[in-house]
Structure 1
Amino acid sequence: MNELLALVILIAAARMGGEIATRTRQSPMLGEIIAGLLLGPTALNLISPNETLEFLGHLGILFMTFLAGMETDLRMLRKVAGPSVLVSAFGIVLSVALGFAVGWLFDFGLASSLFLGAALSTSSIAVTARVFTDFKLMRTRVGLLSMAAHAVDDILAMRLIIFVVSLFGGEATSAPVWLVLAKVAAFLAITTVIGLWVFKPVMRWVYRLRSREMHFTVAVLLVLGFGWMAEFFGLADVLGAFAAGAFLHYTEEAEPAMVHRVEALSDGFLVPVFFGVIGLQTDLFLLLDAVPLVAIALIAAIIGKLVGCGLGARITGYSNRESVIVGAGMVPRAGLALIMLGLVPEGSLPDVMAPLLVAIVFLTALVTGIS
């Protein structure tokens, strides 16, 4: 199918799905994913994922997390720095243990079972940011804790993935822990300097310009620039976009001019593509012969984060209800789990691993949207 026509159909279907979900008091994300599922190989098989759709969807992730950052109070975020480490660590440890147990139960072998555990240790800040924004949770203390825990997850899970992939002789490169921590510190230091001392004078200057669309241009440059900076320091680009939005939270000139324009581009175009592509990438028929595996792996994925992260939040003084919300917010898995597949030599993993991980990414996003 022509790429432009495929884009038209996907956006239209995703937006209609989002509207139906909204009318039934669910997250629009839920309807967007189902729309992709219906257009993909599971149902009508009208559209195949391609590089263009995936790239546009990834831009959607960046702008969505940028907006989430603009709703985040960094002063409050500092207060949850300690609890976020505990939340992330508990969730990763339990997810790895349960994922390994599932792989061992289905005779994946030692290395492949550990691979499944590492894949389940990841989390998706993009999905959580969307759901928390839809339900007005982003500015609550549980929303802040969840965002901080996602940032810690990215660092810890990446180190685990590098170790596991190295067992297969794959493409991952190892680096000393001190170097990773130094890169994280450098990224935080540079973004803090730019955010606290550069953003305000720059935005005052932009505000005086006659070009009304310059605010939007600056937003795009910040999202892409901070995303690149995060990648340069070995972090996920979404963390850079989130940091850019979080520092702009304190720049009053930025919010009125930027938010509406970025929301229009993000919610009206790029984000529906991202969630639609998740559905397009999922062929549930490939898993008909592995229904018990998918069911047990999904239960392990949900329990790993819901119980593990929820327990971490409870230990640090959050109520039972708040702990459940934090745990639920950590349930959706990231595309990083799928990227892992390309890092190991072909034929090193069971054939069912690829469709299984795609299904886990899809189903955990679905469960989070429903909950």
Structure 2
Amino acid sequence: MAIDNFVMSLFLILVAGRILGELIDRIGFPIVVGEVIAGILIGPSLLNWVTPNSTLAVIAELGVILLLFDIGCETSIKKLAYSGSKAVKVAALGILTPFIVIGLASFYWLSIPPFTALFFGCALSATSISISMCVLALNNQTQTTAGQIILGAAVIDDIVGVILLSVLFNFASSGELDISSTLILFIMIACFIILSPPLVRVIIYLTRGLHIKAHVPGYDIFVVMSIICLFAWLAHWFGTPAILGGFAVGMGLSRQFTSPFNKYLKNPFAYTLKLEKAAKPLVQLLSPVFFVYVGISIDLSQLDMSYTGLLILAWLTVIAVASKFIVGLLASSNWQERFIVGSAMVPRGEVGLVFAEMGRQLGVIEAKEFAILVMIIALTTLIGPLILKYALRNKI
């Protein structure tokens, strides 16, 4: 791609994503929806100002690695422990129900191959907890019982979702799935998830010691990006998506990081906070590129706009909402809390889009199915916060 085309395409992506994100945010909807709409607007579906290409795809992938890093920074095993068995039940039902029900529904209604249907189920088993937590934070509900259950379930959702994606990624790459290779993959993923955060923390201690000797500006962002790139490469070497590396680095950098060695090594809160703040501008700059690029990759001409096609899209969206909403039944005996937890688990947002884009890149999902999947994700991302706002304002 010529440099003039690249810089103009990046300019349009950044500006369109920012403007549409701001507009959508002002009317109370998740920013990611505006960014996807921006991609559809400037992409081949409408104005055709920007078309998908490998250079932009690499920038978008770096953006999603940084996004998973940011999610990892907010992940806390302590919150999972505090929320207890209820969070485990909510997360388990919230993963299994969409995975099975949507997988079967998409296989039947869309007449797609079984593996593509599995990918549909996997992508729609995700939960964008950041969207729901923003709504809860605006209503001062993050520290309530429901808020803690949602946070705990989110930790499990993040980890299990990445594992599911890794298994499907491995199968799509090798073309086969046998018990022994799957077991080995699970072990490798488990080892990577368990060992990477402590190893990241060790590197952080080492780099903190060298910090005082650094004279060239930009040491903090140099450290963060170097570690993210290293572990993204290690994740790929382990046979898992590179995004897992960003997630692992985030967990290791998290101020909520805990380990048996905490009583011997004091958490360097001031230093890790500096590193996290140093990475924030890059996350905020590049992660929207991913969502806009998703919109650019959508070909709306592939959508079946007939009555039957729109009915199938609406029906699959209803199933996607209901399969997450029912998890609230396990959250509490209080109907208000059930309604809050159930609605908070509905939005798929950025996590679902990561899954969808990965499937498109692997060739598992064709253009037609990709457009349908992204539309379902966008609709659940709109519907979830609306139901949650209603739940918080009205006693059930």
Q: Normalising by structure 1, report the TM-score.
A: 0.79
Query: C-alpha displacement at 1:56, in angstroms?
Result: 1.4
| Partner residue of 1:55 out of 50, 54, 58 | 58
Is this contact kept in 2: 1:227–1:239, CA < 8 A?
Answer: yes
2:199 paired with 1:183 = no
The equivalent residue for 2:227 is: 222
2:288 paired with 1:272 = yes
The equivalent residue for 1:295 is: 314
Encode CA deviations 1:184-213: one digit per residue, 9 max, x unaligned: 332134224314444234224325523330
Q: Which amino acid is 2:188 matched to?
A: K
Distance verdict in 2 for CA 1:361–1:207, change over 3 Å: farther
Aligned partner of residue 253 in structure 1, secondary structure: helix
Query: C-alpha displacement at 1:130, in angstroms?
Result: 6.3
2:188 paired with 1:171 = no
Query: C-alpha displacement at 1:35, in angstroms?
Result: 1.3
2:169 paired with 1:152 = no
| Partner residue of 1:353 out of 369, 372, 378 | 369
Task: State which drifts further: 331-340 or 181-190.
Answer: 331-340
Partners of 1:158 and 1:314 in 2: CA distance? 32
The equivalent residue for 1:21 is: 24
Partners of 1:156 and 1:83 in 2: CA distance? 22
Partners of 2:6 and 2:371 in 1: CA distance? 24
2:352 paired with 1:333 = yes
Structure 1 unpaired stretches of 5+: none
Q: What fraction of aligned residue pairs are identical, expressed as a percent?
A: 22
Is this contact kept in 2: 1:230–1:240, CA < 8 A?
Answer: yes
Distance verdict in 2 for CA 1:131–1:232, change over 3 Å: farther
Aligned partner of residue 121 in structure 1, secondary structure: helix
Partners of 1:305 and 1:175 in 2: CA distance? 29
Partners of 1:325 and 1:124 in 2: CA distance? 14
Partners of 1:208 and 1:77 in 2: CA distance? 39
Structure 2 unpaired stretches of 5+: 256-267, 388-396
Equivalent residues in 2 for 1:117-136, closer than 5 Å: 117-122=118-123, 128-129=129-130, 132=133, 136=137
The equivalent residue for 2:390 is: none
RMSD (Å) for aligned C-alpha atoms: 3.7
Q: Which amino acid is 2:314 matched to?
A: A
| Partner residue of 1:260 out of 250, 274, 277 | 277
Is this contact kept in 1: 2:299–2:367, CA < 8 A?
Answer: no
Is this contact kept in 2: 1:99–1:114, CA < 8 A?
Answer: no
Encode CA deviations 1:288-336: one digit per residue, 9 max, x unaligned: 132222222222223233334x455559x99325522541255752443
| Partner residue of 1:320 out of 323, 338, 341 | 338
2:301 paired with 1:285 = yes
Query: C-alpha displacement at 1:138, in angstroms?
Result: 8.5
Paired residues, number: 359
Q: Normalising by structure 2, report the TM-score.
A: 0.75
The equivalent residue for 2:394 is: none
Q: Which amino acid is 1:296 matched to?
A: W
Partners of 2:18 and 2:375 in 1: CA distance? 22
Partners of 1:262 and 1:353 in 2: CA distance? 34
Partners of 1:243 and 1:83 in 2: CA distance? 25
Partners of 2:42 and 2:385 in 1: CA distance? 19
Partners of 2:110 and 2:24 in 1: CA distance? 39
Q: Which amino acid is 1:188 matched to?
A: I
Task: State which drifts further: 4-13 or 57-66.
Answer: 57-66
Q: Which amino acid is 1:60 matched to?
A: G
Query: C-alpha displacement at 1:106, in angstroms?
Result: 3.1
Equivalent residues in 2 for 1:356-371, closer than 5 Å: 356-367=372-383
2:69 paired with 1:66 = yes
Distance verdict in 2 for CA 1:242–1:119, change over 3 Å: same
Q: Which amino acid is 2:175 matched to?
A: E
The equivalent residue for 1:305 is: 324
Q: Which amino acid is 1:90 matched to?
A: L
The equivalent residue for 1:76 is: 79
Is this contact kept in 1: 2:346–2:380, CA < 8 A?
Answer: no
Query: C-alpha displacement at 1:232, in angstroms?
Result: 3.0
2:94 paired with 1:91 = yes
Q: Which amino acid is 2:187 matched to?
A: A
Partners of 2:244 and 2:88 in 1: CA distance? 16
Is this contact kept in 1: 2:64–2:354, CA < 8 A?
Answer: no
Partners of 1:13 and 1:27 in 2: CA distance? 16
Is this contact kept in 2: 1:279–1:362, CA < 8 A?
Answer: no
Partners of 2:77 and 2:131 in 1: CA distance? 19
Encode CA deviations 1:217-239: one digit per residue, 9 max, x unaligned: 11101222222333333444333
Is this contact kept in 1: 2:348–2:377, CA < 8 A?
Answer: no
Partners of 1:207 and 1:124 in 2: CA distance? 45
Partners of 2:271 and 2:134 in 1: CA distance? 19
